[in-house]
Amino acid sequence: MAMNRLCFFATTSIGVEDVAAEEVRSLIGSDVKLEVGRVSFKGGVGDIYVLNLKARTLHKVYIQLVKADFKTLDDIYRVARSLDYTWIIDGDQSFAIRSERIGGHCFTSMDVSRVVGQAVIDSYQEATGRRLRVDLEQPDVEIYCLVRNYSLLMGVNTTGESLHKRGYRVYDHPAALKPTIAAAMLKISGWRPGESLLDPMCGGATIPIEAALMARGVMPSKFRSSFAFLKLKICDLQEFKAVRDKLLMEENCSFNPEIYAMDKLQKHLSGGVKNAEEAGVKDAIKFKIGDATKPEEYPNGFFSHIIVNPPYGLRAHPKEGVGRLYEEFLKALKAKNPGSTLTIITAASKRFREAAEKTNITIMERRKIMHGDLPAEIFTCKI
């Protein structure tokens, strides 16, 4: 196995694959192909450390084992059985297969896990004479299988739990945004760390925290203690530590960005402050209680970028109320901050488009995105 040219795929939210691809390109300099909810590229073992530590928009990074077409479950067994696993799993390590299945089949994802698991055991036993252990709870090596219609994709998880679990969220807002989506919004908005930014409905402050980490060049995964690659036999703990130490040196914690966060509820604002403290960027964000529909309650000054994740009206408010909130919010922005760029994510797209029309605000760009299981849209507007 040529370790300097491994094939990888990495998952992200559906709708921001282009943003994730651009990020991978800039981090490791590889050509990147876009697929649904993931990107694929080539790289070396060192790129596993860099991507897991530095990527802001990726969820999990996998070493691709195979991508093949199949017709039956037996074909899946044959494809998986033909692969060599000795370079990635040690004889005394345990493994698990995690499968996902999309499309109509006469078998379940559990069937896929079962036959692929058997194929891994059989292939390994033939090559080494040793029978690998299965551990579904805490495997040393996790192999992912995606069956989409008649295509099979297999990969080794180098990340473990998704990278959107940054490790700084001590206050869990009931409608929190995934940090990876917040980071994608920051990139989509065109905001640069030298420019001013306000999240006027900040909740647990995910957007301002991601902005502050970006502005100071802080690794988003700095607060995570575990990565699946630490157990992979091709990875080297000393090399990983060296990469991590080098990345720590790139932080610029004396940089003071112009980042503001506001919420009308003290409970959420205090939660946001706690999260920012945990992320080590409390001093980089100015927090203020205030109502985003009232221009006089905004912090002083002009903000070149407003980036926000408002209520969608799905839980507490009926949709009608959310339409009014959006309209009043846009009116307040026009009064307080004309000339700024607004980047907003909402699942109540129609309500937002109506509010923009009523307030004469032009939508410059829109894209559909999956916010977890919820179809949402990101809009970019000039105020």
Q: Which residues bind ligand SAM (CB under 6 A)?
A: 173, 175-177, 200-201, 203-204, 206-207, 263-265, 268, 291-293, 309-311, 325
**Closer residue to ligand SAM in complex, CB, 280/310:** 310
Sole residue written with tokens 């300099």: 29
Give 71 or 315: the residue with its C-beta nearer to ligand SAM.
315
> Smallest gap, in angstroms, from Cβ of residue 274 to ligand SAM?
12
Give the Cβ contact number of residue 29 at 10 Å.
10
Q: Which of 139/208 has CB closer to ligand SAM?
A: 208
- Give the E-state strand segments of the chain in sequence order: 6-11, 32-35, 38-43, 61-69, 94-102, 133-134, 141-148, 151-157, 197-199, 259-263, 285-289, 305-308, 341-346, 362-371, 374-382
Cβ of residue 205: shortest distance to ligand SAM, in angstroms?
6
DSSP, res 372: T
Quick one: tokens of 200? Answer: 């006027």
Beta carbon of residue 337, minimum distance to ligand SAM (angstroms, whole number): 14
Residue 354 beta carbon to ligand SAM: minimum distance, rounded to whole angstroms? 18
- Per the listing, tokens 């990565």 go with 227
**Burial of 133 by CB count in 10 Å (0-12 exposed, 13-18 middle, 19+ buried)?**
middle
Amino acid at 373: D
Handedness of CA 279, 282, 284, 285 (dihedral sign): positive
Longest Cα–Cα distance in the chain: 74
CA 80 to chain centre: 29
Pairing of strands 151-157, 141-148: antiparallel
Nearer to ligand SAM, 98 or 331 (CB): 331
The smaller minimum CB distance to ligand SAM, of residues 42 and 264, is found at 264
Q: State the minimum distance, in angstroms, from the CB of residue 374 to ligand SAM.
A: 11
Rounded to the nearest whole angstrom, what is the least distance from the CB of residue 314 to ligand SAM in the complex? 10
Rounded to whole angstroms, what are the CA distances from 15 to 11, 186, 379?
Answer: 11, 14, 12
Closer to ligand SAM by Cβ: residue 132 or 345? 345
CB 7 within 8 A of CB 43: no
Comparison of 204 and 257: residue with beta carbon closer to ligand SAM: 204
For the bound state, the minimum distance from the C-beta of residue 59 to ligand SAM, rounded and expressed in Å, comes to 16
In the bound state, the residue with its beta carbon closest to ligand SAM is 203
Q: CB 173 → ligand SAM: shortest distance, Å?
A: 3
Task: Considering the complex, state which of residue 248 and residue 316 has its C-beta at the smaller distance from ligand SAM.
Answer: 316
Residue 206 CB, nearest approach to ligand SAM (Å):
3
Task: Give the three-state DSSP class for 373.
Answer: coil
Select 158 or 359, whichever has its Cβ closest to ligand SAM: 359
Q: What is the DSSP string of 119-181?
A: HHHHHHHHHHS-PPEE-SSS-SEEEEEEEETTEEEEEEESSSS-TT--S---S--TTPPPHHH
Using DSSP's 3-state secondary structure scheme, residue 265 falls into: coil
Which two three-digit tokens encode residue 208?
């301002």
CB of 293 to ligand SAM, least distance (A): 5
40 or 206: whose CB is closer to ligand SAM? 206
